[in-house]
Amino acid sequence: MSQGKLNVLHIHLSDTGSWPMEIDMYPEFTKDASYRNETYTRQEIRDLVQFAKERGVKILPEIDMPGHSPAHFDAPEITAQYGPIVQCTTVEYNTPEYCFEPPAGQWNISNPNVTTILLNVLTQLSEDFSTAPHLHIGADEVNTNCSAVGTAYEHSTYDEKKNFTKYSVQAFLENILTNITDNLGMKVAMWQDSIAVYDVEIDEPEDVLIQIWSYHDAQGPVLKKYCQEGSQMIQSATRYYYLDCGDENPFLSPPNFCTTFESWKTIYLQDIITASPGMPEECDNSFTGASVQLWSEKINKNTMMAKLFPRALALAERLWSNPTIPASNDGEEWIPAQMRLRLVNDFNLMNKCLEVAPMQPEFCLKNPAICDEFALTHGPRSNLHSVSSLE
């Protein structure tokens, strides 16, 4: 990351499928909620933070809430001590009506113990992730039907469930937000759903970072409001910056939002402000950066590096240089970028035996001048006629 000018690592620490970190106050949480004992101890997290700090990288930890909660937290020993802290986790709820993908599970925010538990977890994270610029609390994709399970609204109409979900999630998130800023003295990051779907009121907008992933025009007024009041934003538009896309979502028919694979060139040529078309112009100066996301549903240690690089490098190159891209995108800008990125990706990272995706044929690693000259004459569409002179 440091070689490629990537300076923040955003870790989505937990989801319905796993809770991989040890929490001192809740040692039972990792018993059944992690894979093959793949857990982080507190010391391992602190070592990672220090390792990253020495290389100029900050780590942004995320505990998503109230959606995307660990399904295994319905274990009898947990329920006996704290009451039901998760909802709709039994097998009959693994349907599209109750979850975005299996396993189903959300924090049961009607149980007051849940707020206490999450604040204790966030307190530990604030201590261990000492360089974190924010604490990320997620706040996206809360399933309406799941939210109503076990409540007085379970058998209500969908609209009644929707209103219940909206206002209960709003109150819950505002409580969490206030506790983080007032009691932990930290800033907060949230996905855009928090303000655009659940109407979370932010008292100190400058203390909150909004992460954009799926913008549509109806969200414009509320985003405009917080941009004007001082909130900063991170661009993570699915269209360009979800690097796990391209191999198809395992649960959706094509085409869908994750069908397209975007090349490093597309990412480099895309201005982050226009990556979400229609965003209010008042937000143009609110973007403090952008991030590429690599969700792990279909990623493992054998495929991760090739999914990340060189495309993550291309985003960093774009953000730090922010070139003026010609409307034709005909090669004047991506060719020099390719020359620079190749030094990091195809020489440095590949020489470290990292399984990154190569940017050029192996011939070009040994003969870069020939390949660069070919690209300079062949790349711009206006010069296609000159190819014959190089054959």
Least trusted range by pLDDT, from 165-169, 345-349, 373-377: 373-377
pLDDT digit string, tens, across residues 58-76: 999 999 999 998 888 998 9
> Residue 8 — left, alpha, or beta (φ > 0 → left; ψ -120 to 50 → alpha)?
beta
Asked if residues 21 and 39 have their Cβ atoms less than 8 Å apart, the reply is: yes
pLDDT digit string, tens, across residues 155-211: 999 999 999 999 999 999 999 999 999 999 999 999 999 999 999 999 999 999 999
Q: What is the pLDDT of residue 48?
A: 97
| Residue 11 DSSP one-character state | E
At position 84, the amino acid (one-letter code) is: P
How many alpha carbons lie under 13 Å from residue 40 in its C-beta half-sphere? 20
Catalytic residue among 38, 44, 54, 141: 141
Asked if residues 41 and 49 have their Cβ atoms less than 8 Å apart, the reply is: no
User: Where do the domains of the chain lie?
Assistant: 2-324
Those residues with Cβ within 8 angstroms of residue 309's Cβ, 6 or more apart along the chain or in another chain: 4, 345, 349, 354, 356, 357
- Whether residue 351 is predicted with pLDDT greater than 70 in this model: the reply is yes
Cα–Cα distance, 378 to 382 (Å, whole number):
9
Looking at domain 2-324, which CATH architecture does it have? Alpha-Beta Barrel (3.20)
Structure tokens at 390: 């190089």
Q: What is the pLDDT of residue 250?
A: 85
- Whether residue 389 is predicted with pLDDT greater than 70 in this model: the reply is no
Higher pLDDT, 362 or 208: 208
Rg (CA), the chain: 23
Q: What is the pLDDT of residue 70?
A: 87
Q: Could you tell me which of 66, 211, 203, 70 has the C-alpha nearest to residue 134?
A: 211
Cα–Cα distance, 124 to 130 (Å, whole number):
10
| Residue 229 DSSP one-character state | H
Summary mean pLDDT of the chain: 91
Question: What pTM was computed for the model?
Answer: 0.92
- Whether residue 138 is predicted with pLDDT greater than 90 in this model: the reply is yes
pLDDT digit string, tens, across residues 278-313: 999 999 999 999 999 999 888 888 999 999 999 999
Structure tokens at 351: 């020489």
The reply to whether 332 belongs to the active site is no
- Whether residue 341 is predicted with pLDDT greater than 80 in this model: the reply is yes
- Whether residue 78 is predicted with pLDDT greater than 60 in this model: the reply is yes
Q: What is the pLDDT of residue 376?
A: 82
Q: What is the mean pLDDT of residues 335-360?
A: 91
Structure tokens at 190: 């949230």
At position 94, the amino acid (one-letter code) is: N
